[in-house]
Each structure stands twice: as C-alpha cells, then as structure tokens.
Structure 1
C-alpha cells in the first residue's frame, strides 16, 4: 500500500522523537507530520536538519491538542495517527484539570478529528499505569492482557490515561466520514528508560548535587523497565498491522503490554546499573519501612486536603507514588510478539551501554559538582 502518511503527536518528546527516527526508515512512507505544542521556529530547523538526507517530507506543526480545528487540519490526508502526546505527572505538581484536559479530552478530540478527516488507523501510547499496581502488597509477575488488571487510583495521570485508552479502544470500528472504518489499538509500555529520559536526567542531576549518591525511591520494587527504542519499534509494528486490516485483524481494538529483555529489578537497582560506571551509588542509609512510608503519605495527603481551602500544600510524595515505586508488577510481551511480530530491537546490554554513555554527557556537563564519595 504505497504512498502512506503518518501524524505523530508529542513528536518532540522522549518517545515521539524515537518513533520518528524509525518511521523515516519505513518503506513507501511519503510524509510525516510531527505535532507538538513545544515546537518553535528554532525547533523546526533542528527537526528538518535531522531528516534532510531522506526522501520523506517532514512537516513540523506547532499546535495544541485541545484545538479541535487545528487537529482536523493536521489530520487531512493522513493514513496513520500515532498519539504519544501526554502530561506525565505522578507527584501532583500539575493541576488535575490540566492533566485531564490534555490526556483525556485531547485524545477524544484527536479521535473525532480522525473520523472527520477519514484517518483509518490510530495507535495510542498508553501506560502500564492504567493497570495498576493498586497495592504494594499486590504481586504480579509476568502478567498478561487476560489478567483484567485495572488501576483504581483517582489520581489524574493514571485515571486520565485509563479513560483515554478506553475511548481509543471503544472507537475501533467507527465509521469514517468517507464511509471507511477506523481501526485502533493501544500499547502499554512498562517504565521507559533510555537516553534523554527526563526522569533519569533529574535523578542524575540530583545525585550529582549529593556527591554521587542516588536517592532511594523504589528499593522494594520488582519491575521490568523497557528501553525507549524498543517501545518505539512496537509502535512501528502496530502501524504496519493497522495499515493492513485484512492481514492483521487480531490487532484491532486490542491493547498490548510492551516490555523487553531488560532484567527484572528494582527501580533503584536500574538507576544504579545505568550510572555506576560514572561513580554513582545507592544511598545505604536507613529508610522507613514500606508500610510506614505508605501511611505517612496518607497523612500528608490528608494535611494537603485540609489545607486546600486556604493554602495549596503539595506533599513530597503520595500513596500512588509509593505504591507505584515499591510494588512487584511485571508484564510479558508475548501477546505483542504473537500479534505484532514484536521482538526487542535493542538488547539489555546495548540499551545499558547507550544510556550509560548519555549519562556520561550529563556528568561532563556537571562534573564540577561530582565528588568521589561512592568510590
């Protein structure tokens, strides 16, 4: 099916940029429209310069996911939409309504734009957060899509992603304006790591200010993090599958957990494995037992609620974050392997090396603050 085109939302983000790097290698792709609110004239130049050597037309759009008319124009002539735009916040920094507007209403707006512009394929970047964990006592090892895991947290990020995913999957089979059919699917990546991760960058910069000691935030967890390049690859495979509905009917209206062969480990151990080459180490000092940490979070949330009429107090952590960071919660990618033909492109060793090299550039930028306390 020659001459197809793709719109990527959140294209300037951590995952969006990696998806575009793989998209430009796709056969018969004529145009990529890259949409992000953060794009500015100088950003456009950076984007175009990366892809000057390719025959694919790259159109950079600076637009808001809440602007319905803009979205409809952006979707004109598009074959596949890959929707990665979202606000990720599990600490309560960003107002609840802002997160709901972007993550849920923005997704609904984009689905409607696809119907009006007769876009036949829609891929949603969801999150493992829509599945839980709901309790740090809950143990899920190598879970799968048949496990009926669903987050019960009212916090805006997991709630908005869960409801947005439901909207995307419910839209599968909708009739397009030209009489065609909209096919959708959702991908639920595990915690994503890799070069240019904002979360890892924050952890490293904080540790540099603390003489190379990494803060312990998830020592009680067992997770299966996934490398950003492998998540991007899963999106490419989903796009291929939805573009040919006769060949891949199993994909339509489905969601998939996306993991890779990164070893099961705690979030703290992951941070240490990625950064130890540069002299970082974990904090070995005493920490609160997990149940006490959870109830302290509950107390802080209660204080925040009681003060809310007169003062906006944001706790350093909440129960959702404590649970998310300290649970045994891992999922298999077997369904994606079966239906999408997904196999991780990048091994754990290669992913670790690439991420570690990037961390080295952060250390170089801030080397004057690094001490040898860990060595």
Structure 2
C-alpha cells in the first residue's frame, strides 16, 4: 500500500541528484575540455602539461570511489555531497587563479575529489535506499542530469569565460555551483532513507496485513558475489574505455569526411541521441534484466563501430555515430543499476564503489589509447575495429558473468 500524502519524498531526492549531476558533469567531466583550452590559451603553457594535471583529476576520482560509497553508507549523503560540492567549487575557482603550471595539480585534486562524490557512485548510493520497484528508473533519472551538464553546462561555462575572463569566469562558475547545490543538499538530503519518514521503499506505508507489489530479490548468492561484481566491473570498464575514447576523438575522426562544421553538428546530434537513449532507458529499465540489456547495447555499439571501420562513406559515419550515441547513456547508467539489482540496497555504496574504482581507472585511459593507436596505425578506422573487438569482449564478460536469481531454473 502506498502513501497518499503527495509525491513520495524519494522523488525529491532524485530531483536534487539530477541538479547535482548537471553541475558535476558540467564542471567535471565535460568541463575538463574547457579548462584545457582556456588555461593553455591564457598562459601559453604546453597542452601536455595541462592535460597531465587533468589526468590527475580522473585518477584521484577513481582512487576515492570506494571511500565515497562507504561514507554514504555510514553517514548518509548530506555530508559527503556537501563536502564534494565545496571541493569541486573550490578547485574550479582556483584553476582561474593559478600562476604556475605546478599549481594546477592541487586544483585538479580538489576537482577530482568533488567529482567522485557528485558523480555516479555518490548519486547512485544516495538514491538506492529509497526505491526497490523503481530502482532502475530512479537512478537513471538522477544521472540524466549529466546530459544537461553537456548540453547546457559547457556552453554556459564558455560564455562566462568569454564575458568575464578566466579568473572571474571560473570564480562565478564555482560560486554558482556552491550557492545552488549546498542549500538543496542540506535541506532535501537530510534524511538517509524512507525509514526516517516512517515509510518503506517506493513510498509504501508499513504493512498492515497487506503486501506490496512483488519485489525482485537480490540475485547475488554468497558463492557468486565475487564473480558477479567483478564481471560487471570488467564488462563496463571495457565498454566505457571505448566509449570515452570515442567521445574524445569523435570530432577528429569525423572532420575529414564532414568538415569542421559538419563534424561539430554530428557530435551535437550524437549527444542528443544519447539523451534520447536515457529517456527510453528510464521507461524500460525496471522491466528488463539490466545486465542483459547492457550486453545487447554493447553489441549494437560494436556493429556501429564495425560499420565505420568497413565503410568510408559519410552517410555510414553519420548513421553509425547516432546509433552508437544512443547507447552512451545506457552504458554509463546501467553499471550502478546492475549492482543495485544484483546486490540489493544494503551496503550498496561500498559495493558499487569497489566496481567504480576499477571502471574509472581503466576507462580513464580510453582517450590516450585511441590516440596512441591512431598514431601507430595511421588511421581511425583501424582503431575503431580494435574498439569494436574490445566492446564485444565487454558484452561477453557481462553475459558470462550473469547469475540467475535464487530459486529460478
């Protein structure tokens, strides 16, 4: 039986996480390309030196994923996400004040700590205790804010830098994040789960002789926990390594066929299909096996990469890019959904934090691997062929690591 006292509080938590994701991806993952261009242009420093500081941002984030998950399990999301907000906001402000290349490194350490708390692990661990029947939809909608960070956050960041300059522009961005997020986190995330409100997950009232709708049990058995967790980590790590590499190099590989303007439009269109994919995922994710769906999406992405490899036609490049883009949101989002479905809500933060550490460390090397292979092999189509094989391997690992729920034949 569900409460009839208005909107279930868990959806307010999802809404706040959506806003958090918008700022986190705008100032973190997608913002990194803006910092690279703006800092090198402002100071004339080598691209490689600034890029190495940005790499530290990703490595620091990967290193503290498990700590973020365990901290949310222990103390709740409010202190962890508040600290993450202060960290990323301070790091962004300080990037605009640096006067020597070495000063970038502590700035990006702060950004990395903030990104780890405000991105997938932190948001999924925040939402997980509130839902059971809608576990997949709630996590998907929360992380959908990432698309807003890409579509709106980056242009706004660029506009601030253009109008205010590097120092004042980044200061304005950091302060805006703190002023918007800290009140929302402090007010809405003050509860750790529905039990604090006398409710059960999904807004159900305490049982009074009535049962709720059937809830799928956690799949992981004591004997199979290790293989389930690490097959998920390995499968998604391989898929995301290719995905991040593809996103980073998409403009460069499309420009020879479409020109600079056409390649830019294709990148934007690919982002829109990724957003559309997230919308579809939110509708279906709680009615399907998320591990199997992730494997199917990776096979679809493999076919798109193979098409670009085998055909130089611009039309093939456009269609394959849009198909590949549709799966981007699925692969990004389904990792925590798989772990939540298979391991349940108890200690989800620490469990997914362990997997996320592997996923982020491995996938951080995607852009560099694409670049090294491009230089060594001389052409992107050959690189995409290797990427297709890697994505296929990820799908195979996810499929082979699947364990049926206890009691099912």
Same fold (TM over 0.5): no
Q: Which has the higher contact order (CA 8 A, sep 6+)?
A: 2
TM-score normalised by the shorter chain: which range applies? under 0.3
Q: What is the TM-score normalised by the length of structure 1? A: 0.25
Higher strand share: 1
